[in-house]
Structure 1
Amino acid sequence: MSSSETTPSDSVDSVPTPRGPVDSSRVPRYAGPATFARLPRIDETGGRADVAVVGVPFDTGVSYRPGARFGGNAVREASRLLRPYNPAQDAAPFALAQVADAGDIAVNPFDINEAVETVEEAAGSLLDTGARLMTLGGDHTIALPLLRAMARKHGPVALLHFDAHLDTWDTYFGAAYTHGTPFRRAVEEGLLDTSALSHVGTRGPLYGKRDLDDDAKMGFGIVTSADVMRRGVDEVTDQLRQRIGSRPLYVSVDIDVLDPAHAPGTGTPEAGGLTSRELLEILRGLSGCNLVSADLVEVAPAYDHAEITSVAASHTAYELTTLMTRQIAAARG
C-alpha cells in the first residue's frame, strides 16, 4: 500500500539506496500517517538516517501565546504536499541521502530544566548515529540543548538565527531557560563561534538600547527585515556566507521571522517581517555551506488560519533538508 519512490538496496561503497517518500501517484496525499514529507519512520530504515527529522512538542518556555507544542505535527501535516524533486536547488533530496522521521522527543511539560536535559540527551544520541538533525519545535527554548549537543560533536558552531527577536535576553521572571534566552546561554556556555553569529529578520520594539549593546558584545551581527528589503536577498546572502565561511553551521529558524501576513500562527508576531519567498531564497543561497543541523520553531497552529504558517514552515524545513542531503551526497562523491 505505501509504495515508495525508492527502495532500500545495497549500492556502491555499501551505502544503501535511500528509501524515499510514499508515491503520491499510488497513495493519495491525505492517506496514511503524517510523517514529514511522507518519508519513512526511522524504524523502517533500520534505525539509520543521514538526516533525522525529529519533533520536540514543548512550549513551556513561551512568554506570550502558547501552542507551539503542536507545531511539529502541524508541519508534518502540511508537508504532505512536498514533492521529491526540488527545482530551486536542482536536487532530489530524498534520493541523495536517507531522510527519515524520527518521531518526537517526549519532554516533561512541567519542568523546563528536565525538558532541556531530555532534549540534549536525545539529540546527542541521534547525532551519535551519524545523523544530522532537522528539528521541528516547539518553542525556541529547545535551541539551547540542541546547541549543546552540536558543540559536543562539532565544537563551537557558527549560527544563523532567523527571528523577529534577538533571543539573547538574560531571564524572564528570573528563569534562565526560556524562549527568549537560548542564545545568551549558548554564548555563555561557549557553544557558539562568536566570530560567526548573525541574526536575520529582526524587527520591532525592544526593552531598551542595552538589548542591542549586549547582543553586540556577544558577537552577533544583525540583518534586520528592513535590511533585506532595502539591500535584497542576494547581497544579504553574500554577506552571511562571508561571515560563516567554512565553519560548521547551525541554522535556527523561528517562524515569526516571517511577517504575520505569511505566518500568523505563532506566539509573538511582529509587523514588518520577511516574506516567505525572501526566507526561502536566503536559505537556498546557503548551498555549499557546512550545515550540520537546523531547527524550526514557534509554529502555533491554533492561530494559523488556512495552514498558512504550517505550509511556509514545511517548505522551510524542506529547503534546509535539501541543503543537508546535497552536502552529504557531495561528501560521498
Structure 2
Amino acid sequence: MSNPSHEPAHEQTGHRRTAQQTGPRGPVDSSRVPRYAGPATFARLPRLDEVGGATDVAVVGVPFDTGVSYRPGARFGGNAIREASRLLRPYNPAQDASPFALAQVADAGDIAANPFDINEAVETVQAAADGILDSGARLMTLGGDHTIALPLLRAVARKHGPVALLHFDAHLDTWDTYFGAAYTHGTPFRRAAEEGLLDTSALSHVGVRGPLYGKKDLDEDERMGFGIVTSADVMRRGVDEVAQQLRERIGDRPLYVSVDIDVLDPAHAPGTGTPEAGGLTSRELLEILRGLAGCHLVSADLVEVAPAYDHAEITSVAASHTAYELTTLMCRQIAGARKA
C-alpha cells in the first residue's frame, strides 16, 4: 500500500516518537491507531530493523515444539502472545515505570529452528541468542517449548558466567531423558547443571506440583542444587514472603528467569501442553515477579503457550502480562545502571 501522506513510517503508524526525540522509540500510539490495526509486534513495539538494529531488550520468538512429551502446539505461542499484547499500555503502575521510555525495547522477530532435528534446533537457537547478546541486548524470549531454555542458558552463561536460575513451572524439568532423548522440554535444567551453566547456590523452582515418577525425582533435583517453592507454599505463605525468600537466595548474582506458563492453574492457563491442577493464579505469578525488583535480571524466557487449547485467549493474555513484567524489570535495571 502506498503512503499518500508522505509521513515518516513511525509517524504514519503512530509510534510514540517525534522528530526532536532522541530517546527510545516506543510502541504505536493507541490514541492514533486502534489496537487491532497494524502488525502484531510485542506490545506494538517497533521491529528491530526500525531502531537501526540497536536495542537494550530484544523480544524474540522461537516457534519450536518438537521437544514436547504430550500436547504439541507451542510453536504458535510466540505469535499468540504478541497478538494478546496489543492490549498492553506503556505505563506499568505496579512497578511505577514506563519501561519503553526507560530503555529501547524492540521485537526481533523469530528464530527459525529445524522442526525435524532437535540437536540442530538447539544449535540454531544458541547461535542466534549469542548474536543478540553480543550486540549488548538482553533477551525476552517467547517460546516455543521448554527445550529452548538450554541453548538460551548456554548463550547467557557464555556472556555472564554461571547464572542464578528462577524457574516457574508445574514440573521440575530436571529429568534425564525421554525415550532416550537428552534434549526435550523435560530435561533442559539437568543438562544446564551438567554443563556448568548454573550457579548452584541460587537455583529455585516455583510452582511445582502434581505427581512425579518417584521420590528419586526430588532427590536428584536437590543434588543439583535446586530449592523448591510449591504452589501450596505460595498459597500458604503469600507472595511477599516468597518473593523475599527468592531475592535472598538470588542476591546480586546475574539472574535468568524461565517461566513455563503451566505454572499457572489450568483455570488461568488452559492453553498449554501439560496442565496440572492446583497451580498459581495469574495474580500470584505477576506479584512474585514484581517482587524481584532490584535483582540483576540478565534475560528471561516464557514458554509452553499452546493457543490451540487456549479458550478466549486466557493463557495468551496471562503470558503477555508476564512478559511485560519481566521486560519492565529489565528496563528499570538498565535505566538505573545508566544513572549510576
TM-score (norm 2): 0.96
**Counterpart for residue 65 of structure 2:** 59
Matches within 5 A, 1:21-36: 21-36=27-42
How far apart, CA to CA, are the structure 2 residues paired with 1:20 and 1:5? Answer: 5
Question: Which one of 137, 140, 153 corresponds to residue 147 of structure 1?
Answer: 153
Helix, strand or coil at the partner of 1:281: helix
How far apart, CA to CA, are the structure 1 residues paired with 2:197 and 2:248? Answer: 20
**Counterpart for residue 257 of structure 1:** 263
**Counterpart for residue 192 of structure 2:** 186
**Which letter does structure 1 place at the counterpart of 2:85?**
S
Indicate whether 1:138 and 2:149 are aligned. Answer: no
Could you list the per-position Cα deviations for residues 254-283 of structure 1 after superposition, in whole angstroms to 9, with x for gaps in the alignment? Answer: 000000000000000000000000000000
Indicate whether 1:223 and 2:234 are aligned. Answer: no
**Counterpart for residue 312 of structure 2:** 306
How far apart, CA to CA, are the structure 1 residues paired with 2:287 and 2:73? Answer: 28
**Counterpart for residue 335 of structure 2:** 329
**Counterpart for residue 13 of structure 1:** none
**Which letter does structure 2 place at the counterpart of 1:329?**
A
| Percentage identity across paired residues of the two chains | 88
Helix, strand or coil at the partner of 1:87: coil
How far apart, CA to CA, are the structure 1 residues paired with 2:20 and 2:253? Answer: 34
Could you list the per-position Cα deviations for residues 195-239 of structure 1 after superposition, in whole angstroms to 9, with x for gaps in the alignment? Answer: 000000000000000000000000000000000000000110110
Matches within 5 A, 1:100-179: 100-179=106-185
How many residue pairs were aligned? 328
Question: Which one of 56, 72, 76 corresponds to residue 70 of structure 1?
Answer: 76
**Counterpart for residue 5 of structure 2:** none
How far apart, CA to CA, are the structure 1 residues paired with 2:307 and 2:19? Answer: 35
Structure 1 contact 7–20 (Cα < 8 Å) conserved: no
**Counterpart for residue 276 of structure 2:** 270
Indicate whether 1:212 and 2:223 are aligned. Answer: no
How far apart, CA to CA, are the structure 2 residues paired with 1:235 and 1:330? Answer: 25
Could you list the per-position Cα deviations for residues 79-132 of structure 1 after superposition, in whole angstroms to 9, with x for gaps in the alignment? Answer: 000000000000000000000000000100000000000000000000000000
Question: Which one of 5, 22, 44 corresponds to residue 16 of structure 2?
Answer: 5
Question: Which one of 81, 91, 99 corresponds to residue 85 of structure 1?
Answer: 91
TM-score (norm 1): 0.98
How far apart, CA to CA, are the structure 2 residues paired with 1:84 and 1:246? Answer: 28
Could you list the per-position Cα deviations for residues 166-209 of structure 1 after superposition, in whole angstroms to 9, with x for gaps in the alignment? Answer: 00000000000000000000000000000000000000000000
How far apart, CA to CA, are the structure 2 residues paired with 1:225 and 1:117? Answer: 33
Helix, strand or coil at the partner of 2:299: strand
Helix, strand or coil at the partner of 2:275: coil
The offset of 1:6, in angstroms, is 2.9
Cα RMSD, aligned residues only: 0.8
How far apart, CA to CA, are the structure 2 residues paired with 1:73 and 1:63? Answer: 22
How far apart, CA to CA, are the structure 2 residues paired with 1:144 and 1:279? Answer: 23
The offset of 1:5, in angstroms, is 1.8
How far apart, CA to CA, are the structure 1 residues paired with 2:239 and 2:41? Answer: 31
